[in-house]
Amino acid sequence: MTDPTPESAQPRRLAVFLVDDHAMFRAGVRAELGAHVEVVGEASSVAEAITRIAATQPDVVLLDVHMPDGGGRAVLEAMRRSHPQVKFLALSVSDAAEDVIGLIRAGARGYVTKTISPDELAAAIRRVAEGDAVFSPRLAGFVLDAFAARPDVPIADPELDQLTNREREVLRLLARGYAYKEIAKELYISIKTVETHVSNVLRKLQMSNRYELSRWAADRRLV
């Protein structure tokens, strides 16, 4: 999407910024990602992250969920309006639904857990940088659950509060551990179409007012 184009790198490497309060984890990620992307900066606190992200203008920020002073959500809220071109990918050890849903609704383009392999993480960063969404199998599971057809839930806005059958199929395959390429093959659609479906789901996840989503968010006092 956006191309800030750093002058030096010929085959342009993505500029990635790490936000995590664990120095050891930052060092690990930096080492793992070094071959794939350019790590342009690190921050260990919310305030530091806000100033340094504004200064370095990275393509993608890897954002930890749990930090003192508001965690990843505080960073997202501070940066999203002023720096819409910066993409955020949440990276956390937490598997709790509230964390996942809360970060996505605050504007993160994806959510992966810290157990992800370096190659997968690099692929996820690339995908987020291109404006697509990244769902871990677990996040796909959450979304399927949150959007499950339930007779007792009123649908205020069918466009936002329901998933299409195709989107559901894509999410199911994601939850089953399929890569985009494999999903495309399985459903006889192009990878681009898979990406479109996932992005649509992300939009619904961010905009929908379905009860489960607000509840998860409210549990953490995020809304």
Partner 1 sequence: MIAGVASGLARHLGVPVLAVRIALVVLLGFNGLGLLLYAAFWAVLPQQAPTGDTPPRRDLAMLLPFAAIGIGVVLLQSLAFGDGPAGTVGWLIAVIAVGAGVIWHQSDPSRRGHWADNASQTPWLAAVVAESDRRSFLFRFIGGGVLVAVGIIGVVAIYSPTRGGLTSVFNGVIFALVGLLGVGVVVAPLLWRTFSQLRTEREARIREQERAELAAMIHDQVLHTLALIQRNSTDIKEVQRLARGQERSLRNWLYKPAASPTEKFAAALEQAAAEVEDTYAITVETVVVGDTECDDRVAALVAAAREALVNAARHAGVDTVSLYAEVEADELSVFVRDRGAGFEMAGVEESRHGVRGSIIGRMKRHGGRADIRSAPGDGTEVRLTLPASREGVTAGKETAR
Residue ranges in contact with partner 1 by CB under 8 A: 94-97, 115, 137-138, 140-142, 144-146, 148-150, 172, 175-178, 212, 216
Which one, 53 or 136, has the nearer CB to partner 1?
A: 136
Shortest distance, position 113 Cβ to partner 1, whole Å = 9
- If the CB atoms of residues 7 and 152 are measured against partner 1, the closer one turns out to be 152
b/e per residue 81-104 (b: at least 16 CB within 10 A): eebeebbbbbbbebeebbbbbbbb
Per-residue tokens: 105: 């609704």
Q: Which is nearer to partner 1, 79 or 133 (CB)?
A: 133
Beta carbon of residue 109, minimum distance to partner 1 (angstroms, whole number): 20
Which amino acid would we find at residue 169?
E
CB of 143 to partner 1, least distance (A): 8
- 86 and 109 in contact (C-beta within 8 Å)? no
- What minimum distance in Å lies between the beta carbon of 160 and partner 1? 18
Q: Which is nearer to partner 1, 144 or 160 (CB)?
A: 144
